[in-house]
Structures are given as C-alpha cells and as structure tokens.
Chain A
Amino acid sequence: MTRSRPQPDVVRMLTLVPWLIERPGASLRETAVTFATDVATLRTELEHLDYCGLPGLGGGALFDVEITGDRVTVRMADELRYPMRPSPHEALRLLLIATTAERVAGADVPALRSAVHKLHAALGVTPGAVTVLDAEPDEVVLVVRSAIAAGVRVRFSYRGRGDDVPAERIVEPWAVELSEGAWYLHGHDVGAGAGRTFRLDRSADLVATDEANIQPVPSDLESPAYQPSDDDIEVELRLDPSAWWLLDAVSADGTLPAGEDGALAVRLQTGSPEWLARLVLMAGGEAEVLLPEDLRERVRCRAEDALRALDAAGRDVPHEEVGGA
C-alpha cells in the first residue's frame, strides 16, 4: 500500500473546531471515522490548528490543541464555536442521501423522517424540494429483510439474464440493495456454493424457509455491476430519442450521434443476446440492431413470432369482452 502525504483540508479544519469544543477528550480514531478521513491526516490538521486563532499584534490569541494518546481537547477557540453552513453542493447531496435513506429504510429507522425534516429547515430548503420516488421496498424485499433478521434461507424461482427458463434457487440472504432503481439480493447461493447477486424483479414465488443459514455473512459485500466476459458478443444499436431509456438498461462502451433526428449509435457487449433482443423488442420499433446480423434476425423472428401469437390468441375460445354495446 502506498501512503500519500496527509492533505489538510480547510473546511474540515473549520468544522473540527466546533465539533471538538463540544467533545473534550474525543478519540482521534472515532473523530477520523466521523470526518471520513484517516488518523494521520486528522493529526496533521490538529497540529495546524494549534497555530491558528485570532492573528494579531504580539502573536495574537492562538487555539489550544492538546493531544494525549488517542485523545484530543480543543480550548480557547470560541471564535469558531459554530460550524460553517454546508455549501449548496453539500446541502443537496446530504438531502438526497437522507431522503433516499428515509424512503428505503424509514420503516426500520423512524428517526429518519424527523431528521429529514430538520435538515430541510436548517439548510433553508423547502420541504419536498428533494423528492425520491419508487424507492420503497416492495413485499418481496420485506420478506427477504425479515429472513435476514431471522437468519434463515429463502427459496425462489429465478430467471437470470442468460436463462431461457426459470430455475429454483435456495439462497442464504445477506443484504438487499437498491441500485439504479432495482432491488438486488446479495447472498450465498446454496446450489452454486458461492456468493451471488440476484435482481429481485426477476424472481417469483419467493418465500422464507425455516432452514437456518450456515455460511457466515462476509463483512464487505460487492455491488452488483456487470462484468464483461470472454463469451460476450459485440453489438451496435441505433436508438431514436424516444428509446434512449434503453441506455439505462445496458452498459454501453460508447455512444455517438447518428443523425440529425437525434438518434444515437451505441456500441456495447453482451453475454446474453436473447435478453438484448427482448430489450430491443420493448422499444417497439424505436431501436434497431445494426450489428451483428444474426441478432437482427433474432429480433425479427421474435417480432414475427409475437405477431403470429397475437393472431392465434383467443381464436378458439369465445371473446369474453364482447357483448353489451
């Protein structure tokens, strides 16, 4: 591990003073955690603060910073007894963090609601100016959460990105995560004998079992991110502006304007052409596969199959909506 020289930060120093005035004998280690820095940087900043204060003739009146072991006490620093206001960037980020947490975990942590309210008031932002929609855990997420609390396995049928048919999974759940608008389950896949991440909206019939977990929960979980593999094929798409949402669903390697009508050309890799074909179909004619040719054909076949299915559906059973008018 390389160690860079501690970089003192003026805003953190200005915030440390009021914080430490309120907490004489604070632990350096705990303070570093609170301020998202390391002890070495914190020490450097405190050493600088010992030379700060009201400058003036005859040396002025300097702060008194006393470090003994892991403990620090700041005195004679009343000029900075109040913290500085968060900047607009800090204010908006903090409001988004608190509001999202309230949506996601407010049921478990009721104090988030009043905290969000006080944040808006203290930062001078109209209540509701920061709004997070569709982040509430649904019923499946709640079932998983109670299974985690009880330390038991969950069972569900799952259709992964590359699966043609759903298969049953038994998983020892570790955590649920809301990422990019979708809920994921991190856990130990008993069948695979390894840690896996599942998108919960591709699961069905999820239930908590009464079998207790066996594997220990890892202390650090990885985020669900798509990793390209050697089997991936290269795909090029053309997206009309109304199909740009498709970009949210894929990890594109590059995009380029493809015409004056606002269309985009997109290059990406996928290990699951079937899934990509379905995605293109969902755009209903506003997205086109440029390459490869066999994926173009796959999309065309899917569309033609679907048209045939529409024609066939309801042929040999009476149309129940008919009647009345």
Chain B
Amino acid sequence: MAMPAVERLVNLTIALLETRRPLTFEELRRRTGYYPQSDPSSARRMFERDKETLRNLGIPVETRQEFGMDDPGYLIDRRAYELRDVGLDAEEVAALSLAVDMLGREEGALPLAKLAARAPDPAPLQAPPTRADVPVGDVDVFAPAIVERRVVTFTYRTADGRTGFRTVEPYGIVRRRRAWYLVGRDRDRDATRGFRTDRMLSDVKVVGPADAFAVPPDLDLGSIVSGPDIPTVDAVLEAQPAGQWALGARGAIDEGPGSVGTRRMRLSGIDPVRDRAWLLGVAPDAAVVSPGPVVDALRDALERVAARHGSRSTGASAATVAR
C-alpha cells in the first residue's frame, strides 16, 4: 500500500528542515525512498505537487540554484519556519483562549496552538458574560499585504461615486462598527488614507515582494479612519411624546414645554454631518429648532426625500431587480 500523503508531506518537511545544504530532487528521492515511479517525469510531477502543497500551507520551501549543480536544490530555513520566543505566560494564554472561544474557535484555535505550544498551560479564568462577533475571514485577502508588508492594488469607488485605480502600501486594517478600512499610503497621491473595503471593486491584488515598505512608527490608524474632529454643537429640539423617548435614550435634557404638545429638549455633542441621518430618523417626532444650519440641512434633505417619493420617477423600474 502506498504511504499516506500526510505522512509523506510531514516527512518531506522534516527532511528539508534537517538538511544543512539544499537537496536536489534526485537526492531527496534517493534519501527518502519516495517518488518511486519508474517514469521519471511522473515522479517529478508528484514531487512538484507536494512542494506546491507545502508552500500553500505556509511552509517556506526555498528553491536554490547552487553553483556547479545542474539541478536546483530545496530546503526549509529553520529561521523562516520556526516560531520562537513568543513568551506568553499562563494568564495570557488563558486570556487568548477566552478570546478564541468568544470570537471563533474555527479560525483561531490552531494559530493559538502554534503560539502557545511552548507556553505554560492556561491559568484558571472566569469568563465574562460577553460575546462578540467579528467576521475575521472577511479581510483574508489583505493578510499577506499587512502581515508581510506587500503592496496592494485595487479599483476604489469614493463616497461621491467616482472610481479610480489605487496602489497602496497597507499599514494596517481597522474595524469600525460594521465596516472594514484598509489604511495605508496611496502611492500615486503620496498620502495616507483609509479605504473602506466595501467600496473596493472585485480586483484587489497583493503584488510584489514582502517588506516592500516600512510602516511609520507611532501611526494612529484610528484617527485616520475617524477623520478630523468636527466641532460638535448643542441642538435644541421640540419633541412629540414619541420623540421624547428617543431623545431621552440619547441623553437629551428636558428644558420645559415647547410649542403645542411638545417638550423642548437639548442634545449635546451633535456632529452636524455624522448625526444628520439620526436626526432625520427621529423626524417628525422631534423637530430641530437650532442651530440654524442644521435646520437648513435637514429641510433640504427632507425636501429631496419628498420629491423623490412624489409622482413615480422615470429611470430604473422595479423589473430591473433580479430575483
């Protein structure tokens, strides 16, 4: 019976780790007794498949053309293969096990086992009654770019609908509420920007070698994604009973009766841009009285909503939506 493939792959890994100099295919074949096919090209093909499988698993099989040799040689550099000096203590292993339990055993268990292989066993830990759900597989495509510092290219659609090709040195990834951002230096514009991954078209490519750039020290990715701080304002609203509840939930202060049947309420820390949608959501149960520019912006938006939902607009008909 033929040797099971997993045993052959594990042993090939060990042979390539243990050798001091690159081994040619013929040497490997002689030494291991694998690839016994009488047809040399089919034996060679089987070895090439194994080599590719190992590389796809993340095992750094190197090809080296040694001086004076006809055939290339292969080896695995221990320094590239081995994970050393992680230095996790028992509390940290317990904390990371909890994180993996909380957010994804499927994705996290094996990588954590690698990091904790030589660490002490986890200390006892009382798990807090908290769960979280982050789709960590969403951003797999950027992993080689971020972890190995490789350049990424993609077509990007900006908030106002324009598209353009970008070449980016990715400094990192940011998760903010429901969105992912790739943050990095846009090479053509020579500027550090945040790119929402859901505005990238489907042509994301990781290109070029590892360590293609250096990440600036003390970079605060969060502030790049959050953008400059827009000064916030106090908004005064007149709220119907239904709206009072929503405003109260956001921490508004009741300032007494307003016009007929309403209460005047003051909301602090309103960002005129980011909170516009929220204010539209509570309309008409809570109407903004001041500041004036916020009132004008809301009036504008509401007029557009009303116009768009007036008599049926031409253009896309319902039939254009695929079932």
Contacts and interface: CB of A to CB of B under 8 A. Distances in A.
B215 A129 contact: yes
Contacts of A176: 129-131
A88 interface: yes
Interface stretch (A188-196, A207-215, A301-309): A301-309
Question: Do most interface residues of chain A lie in helix, strand or loop, or is the interface mixed?
Answer: mixed
Interface in B292-323: 292, 295, 298-299, 301-310, 313, 315-318, 320-323
B303 A307 contact: yes
Interface string B212-250: 000101011110011000000000111010100110110
A96 B32 CA distance: 41
Contacts of B281: 278-279, 281-282
Given A109-B125, A118-B87, A306-B284, A83 B57 contact: no
A89 B31 CA distance: 34
B320 A256 contact: yes
A48 to B, nearest CB: 5
Nearest to A177: B131
Contacts of B144: 88
Interface in A84-105: 84-94, 96-98, 100-102, 104-105
B187 interface: no
A278 to B, nearest CB: 5
A281 to B, nearest CB: 5
B133 A179 contact: yes
Contacts, number: 452
A92 B140 contact: yes
B99 A131 contact: no
A233 interface: no
Interface residues of B, number: 149
A158 to B, nearest CB: 10
Contacts of B288: 310, 313
B161 A256 contact: no
A313 B3 CA distance: 82
Interface of B: 3-4, 6-7, 9-11, 13-15, 17-18, 31-34, 53-54, 57-59, 78, 80-89, 91-96, 98-100, 102-115, 117-118, 121, 125, 128-134, 136-137, 139-140, 142-144, 146-148, 157, 159-161, 163, 171-179, 198-199, 215, 217, 219-222, 225-226, 236-238, 240, 242, 245-246, 248-249, 258-260, 262, 264, 276-278, 280-281, 283-284, 287-292, 295, 298-299, 301-310, 313, 315-318, 320-323
